[in-house]
Structure 1
Amino acid sequence: MYNQLQRLNGVATFALTVAFCLFVAISYVSDYTRPVDQGTAQVTVRGIKVQRGPTFPDAYDPKSRQSHYARLAMDIEVDLTRLFDWNTKQVFLMAVAEYATPTHPVNQVVLWDSIIQSPEDAEFKLKKYRNKYQFKDFTEKFGTKTANLTVYWDVTPYVGFLQTTRLGQTSQTFTIPEVSYK
């Protein structure tokens, strides 16, 4: 009673089930909780300036003329070539400023990010690089605060789970100064 299409369907279903079980087994065997020494990234804050006004104009924010914006000049040195193996699709790298305020104990602002897709691009140096995204406090005014600039990376595998790992030696403390008027 079976025709050729039913037999082909049965073989294809069995092959896909075996492939799925194999991928699940690989994802549990693969260890992507890599130690910190697998890659290195250093970040150094060269200068910081806080300005008031529309440094980054925002058409939807009527308070943008009174808001305080911080501009950082930072050096970023990265070597993540050892993170690439047979199961690494890409590495997402980001520099995050972290600080606390009385009303919000945890504030994290992404200042720069990059997607690295090959081992050849995983080693680079940026000198006096400005923040890519705006650095603005939730309360619209910074005041004098102490913050940490930290580099994080995410490995995107072809097969397996996404996991965020923090590079321990990359954090640098800096002070956000008062507003400098032009």
Structure 2
Amino acid sequence: MPKETYVPSLFSLFRQYGYDGATLSKISEATGLGKASLYHHFPGGKDEMVQSVLGYAGEWVQTNVLALLAGDGSPEVRLQKMCDRIDELYAGGTQPCVLAILQSGTGRDLFHDSVKASVEQWIAAIAVVVVEAGIDPMVARQRAEDALIAIQGSLVVSQALDDPALFQRVMQALPQQLLAQSSI
């Protein structure tokens, strides 16, 4: 099978354990591949696996977030579609963010630039939609940054308190907050 077959399993594994916690035995168990087969598919080892996971996540964001934000419909409709897809990705606030997990431990040094580029792209896309709604570009940029802070922060707090309703509340309110004519 091609290596792309194993990337969704790797995504789940690195999302749960991060770079440092994803041991070779866990990777083998998640993919069903032995050590030799893992290195056949991913000659660069765990770093290549994470790069594949980041590529997979990037494609998902491109299709399910950025394309929706750049698509048809009112700014509120496009932002709501983004929130709906993000809610699905994080299973209503019960699953962690692979980008956030990779920003801790050894993973930060190895993958920071890739994660930073993804976050910057997402912020920029949200800001464009907010500007289209008539909000000043500087304010739109700040609101887009605040949106990611709200998404990621509510995800962490929801998981810490075992209460996904906190994340869901943020996702429901976010489009209106981003487009409010007064400051947030």
- TM-score, length basis structure 2: 0.22
Larger Rg computed on CA atoms:
1
Which one has a larger percent helix, Structure 1 or Structure 2?
A: 2
Which one has a larger percent strand, Structure 1 or Structure 2?
A: 1
- TM-score, length basis structure 1: 0.22
